[in-house]
C-alpha cells in the first residue's frame, strides 16, 4: 500500500501536524504580542538571549534524545520482561543526564559573562534568565526518545500543545509585568510542565506496550562509537553544533548590529521557520516507515518513499515563496509595525533555505542516529557554522538581507552534502 494512503501514516501525520500547527500559531501570537509589549529594542535583547540559550538548551536535550534512541534498542532487546517499565528502561541515563545538565548551565553562565564584558549587562542578565530552560528540561530528551521509538505521537502532541498554551500565556503575562526579564522567565517556567507531562506520558506508553511495539533495530547490538562512552560526547557536540547552526546568524548579528536590526532579522527568521517547521511533521510521521525500509535494506523502497514525501513539500515551498513576495510587506506592516517591513526580503531568501534543509534533508537525523554517524554530522555542521558565522563577522556585515543570503546558501550546502553521503552509502550497499 502506498505510504500516502496508509492509515497509520495519516494518523501519525494528523497528530504531529496538528500539534505542530497549534504550537506554531501560538508561537506567532506570542511573538506578535512581545514585539508590541517590548518594543523594537527590547525585542532585540529578548531575541538575542533566546538565540544564545537555544544553542545550549537544544544541545542538552538533543544529546540525551540521540543517545537514548541509539542505545535503547539494545536495552529493549535484552531487558528482563519482569522488569519492563519506563524506570528500568532509562535506568542510569538520568544520572548521566544530571551531570550534563549541570555542565550545560555552567556554559550558560560563561556565555553571559562574555556578553557582560563585550556587550552590556542587561543582555547578560537576559541570557541567564533564558538559560533557566536548561535545567527545566532535565530528562526531556530521554522521554522524547522513548516516545519516538514507541511511535507514540499522541503523547508528543499532548505535551507540546500543553506546554505551548501555558508558555504563550506566561510569556505575555511576564512581558506585561516585568518587560524583557519577565518574558524570559515566562518562557522558561512552563518548560517544567511540558517536561513532566512528557515523562508521565512516556512512562504510561511503556507500561501499555511490549518490546515488540517499539520501532527499532532491536536485534542489533550497538558497536563501535555507538556502544562506547564517546556517544555521549559526540551527540552533545553534534547537538550543540546543530543548535549553533540554527542560531549563528542571529548571534553574529547581535555582536555587530543594533538590537533593532536583530529584531527585524529575528522576525524574518521566525516566520521562515514557522513555514519550514510545518514540513517537519511529515518526516516525523514517516520515521517508522523510513527506518523499516532502511533496516531491511530496501533501498528502492526508501528512495520511492522520499520522492513521494518531497515532491508535495517542494510544491508547497514554491507556492509559499510566491505568496511571500506578494503579501509579506503588507503582513509585516499590519502585524508587527512599519519598523519591520524591511524583514520582507530576508524572509523570502530564508524560506528558500528552509526548503532546502527541511524538505530535501529532513530525513538526515534518522540516518545519523540509526548508524551513529555523529562524526560526519559534526564535521559538516562545524563547516557550516564557520561559513555562516565567519563571513558576516569578519566583513562586519550587519545587513539582514546579506546575512539571510549567506545562511540560505549554507542550508543548500547542508542538503547537498547529505544526499552525496546517502548516495555513496547506497552505492556501497549500506
Q: What are phi and psi of 84, to 5 degrees?
A: -70, 110
Among 357, 332, 353, residue whose Cα is nearest residue 414: 357
Is 80 exceeded by the pLDDT of residue 315? yes
Residue position matching grid coordinates 527568521: 269
Span 97-114, pLDDT tens digits? 888 889 889 999 999 999
pLDDT at 369: 66
The residue count for the chain: 430
pLDDT at 224: 41
pLDDT at 228: 45
Q: Hey, what's the cell of 80?
A: 528482563
Counting residues of the chain whose pLDDT is more than 70, the rounded percentage is 87
**Buried b / exposed e along 154-171 (16+ C-beta atoms within 10 A):** bbbbbbbbbbbebbbebb
**Buried b / exposed e along 335-364 (16+ C-beta atoms within 10 A):** ebeebbbbbbbbbbbbbbbbbbbbbbbbbb
pLDDT at 372: 65
Centre a 10 Å sphere on the Cβ of residue 239 and count the other Cβ atoms it contains: 28
Q: Rounded CA gap, 193 and 344, in Å?
A: 35
Q: Which has the higher per-residue pLDDT, 2 or 414?
A: 414
**Domain locations in the chain as residue ranges:** 3-427
Span 283-313, pLDDT tens digits? 777 777 887 787 777 878 888 888 888 888 8
Dihedral sign (CA 17, 18, 20, 24): positive
Q: Rounded CA gap, 273 and 50, in Å?
A: 15
Q: Rounded CA gap, 41 and 338, in Å?
A: 14
Dihedral sign (CA 53, 363, 165, 67): negative
pLDDT at 409: 93
Band (pLDDT 50/70/90 cuts) for residue 219 is very low
Is 70 exceeded by the pLDDT of residue 203? yes
Residue 103 sits at the vertex; the CA angle it makes with 221 and 58, to the nearest 5 degrees, is: 70
Is 60 exceeded by the pLDDT of residue 230? no
Band (pLDDT 50/70/90 cuts) for residue 217 is very low
Classify residue 14 by burial, with Cβ atoms within 10 Å: 0-12, 13-18, 19+.
middle
pLDDT at 428: 64
Is 50 exceeded by the pLDDT of residue 271? yes
Helices then strands, each counted (H, E), the chain: 15, 0
pLDDT at 6: 60
pLDDT at 430: 53
H or E segment at 359?
Answer: none
Helix (H, G, I), strand (E, B) or coil at 131: coil
Contacts of 342 (CB under 8 A, 6+ apart): 264, 400
Centre a 10 Å sphere on the Cβ of residue 297 and count the other Cβ atoms it contains: 10
The top-scoring range by mean pLDDT among 19-28, 164-173, 213-222, 319-328 is: 164-173
Q: Which has the higher per-residue pLDDT, 251 or 152?
A: 251
Classify residue 242 by burial, with Cβ atoms within 10 Å: 0-12, 13-18, 19+.
buried
Integer-rounded Cα radius of gyration of the chain: 21
Contacts of 98 (CB under 8 A, 6+ apart): 138
Band (pLDDT 50/70/90 cuts) for residue 231 is low
Q: Which has the higher per-residue pLDDT, 134 or 280?
A: 134
Amino acid at each position: 500500500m502506498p505510504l500516502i494512503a496508509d492509515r497509520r501514516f495519516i494518523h501519525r501525520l494528523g497528530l504531529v501536524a496538528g500539534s505542530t500547527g497549534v504550537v506554531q500559531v501560538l508561537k506567532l501570537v506570542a511573538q506578535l504580542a512581545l514585539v508590541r509589549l517590548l518594543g523594537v529594542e527590547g525585542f532585540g535583547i529578548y531575541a538575542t538571549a533566546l538565540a544564545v540559550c537555544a544553542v545550549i538548551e537544544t544541545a542538552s536535550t538533543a544529546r540525551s534524545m540521540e543517545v537514548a534512541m541509539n542505545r535503547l534498542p539494545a536495552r529493549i532487546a535484552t531487558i528482563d520482561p519482569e522488569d519492563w517499565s519506563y524506570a528500568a528502561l532509562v535506568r542510569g541515563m538520568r544520572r548521566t543526564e544530571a551531570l550534563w545538565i549541570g555542565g550545560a548551565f555552567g556554559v550558560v553562565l560563561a556565555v553571559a559573562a562574555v556578553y557582560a564584558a563585550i556587550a552590556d549587562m542587561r543582555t547578560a542578565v537576559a541570557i541567564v534568565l533564558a538559560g533557566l530552560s536548561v535545567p527545566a528540561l532535565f530528562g526531556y530528551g530521554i522521554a522524547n526518545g522513548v516516545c519516538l521509538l514507541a511511535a507514540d505521537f499522541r503523547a508528543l502532541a499532548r505535551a507540546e500543545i500543553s506546554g505551548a498554551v501555558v508558555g504563550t500565556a506566561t510569556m505575555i503575562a511576564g512581558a506585561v509585568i516585568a518587560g524583557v526579564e519577565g518574558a524570559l522567565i515566562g518562557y522558561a517556567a512552563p518548560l517544567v510542565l511540558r517536561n513532566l507531562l512528557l515523562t508521565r506520558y512516556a512512562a504510561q506508553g511503556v507500561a501499555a506496550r511490549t518490546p515488540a511495539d517499539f520501532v527499532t533495530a532491536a536485534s542489533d547490538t550497538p558497536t563501535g562509537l555507538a556502544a562506547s562512552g564517546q556517544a555521549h560526547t559526540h551527540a552533545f557536540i553534534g547537538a550543540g553544533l546543530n543548535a549553533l547552526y540554527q542560531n549563528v546568524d542571529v548571534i553574529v548579528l547581535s555582536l555587530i548590529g543594533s538590537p533593532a536590526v536583530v529584531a527585524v532579522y529575528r522576525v524574518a527568521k521566525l516566520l521562515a521557520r514557522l513555514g519550514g517547521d510545518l514540513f517537519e511533521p511529515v518526516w516525523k510521521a514517516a520515521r517508522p516507515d523510513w527506518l523499516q525500509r532502511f533496516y531491511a535494506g530496501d533501498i528502492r523502497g526508501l528512495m520511492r518513499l522520499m520522492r513521494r514525501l518531497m515532491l508535495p513539500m517542494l510544491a508547497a515551498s514554491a507556492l509559499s515563496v510566491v505568496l511571500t513576495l506578494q503579501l509579506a510587506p503588507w503582513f509585516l506592516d499590519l502585524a508587527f509595525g512599519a519598523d519591520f517591513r524591511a524583514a520582507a526580503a530576508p524572509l523570502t531568501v530564508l524560506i528558500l533555505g528552509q526548503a532546502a534543509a527541511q524538505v530535501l534533508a529532513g530525513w538526515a537525523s534518522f540516518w545519523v542516529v540509526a548508524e551513529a554517524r555523529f562524526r560526519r554530522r559534526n564535521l559538516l555542521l562545524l563547516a557550516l557554522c564557520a561559513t555562516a558565522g565567519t563571513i558576516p563577522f569578519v566583513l562586519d556585515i550587519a545587513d539582514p538581507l546579506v546575512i539571510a543570503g549567506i545562511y540560505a546558501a549554507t542550508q543548500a550546502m547542508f542538503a547537498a552534502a547529505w544526499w552525496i553521503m546517502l548516495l555513496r552509502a547506497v552505492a556501497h550497499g549500506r
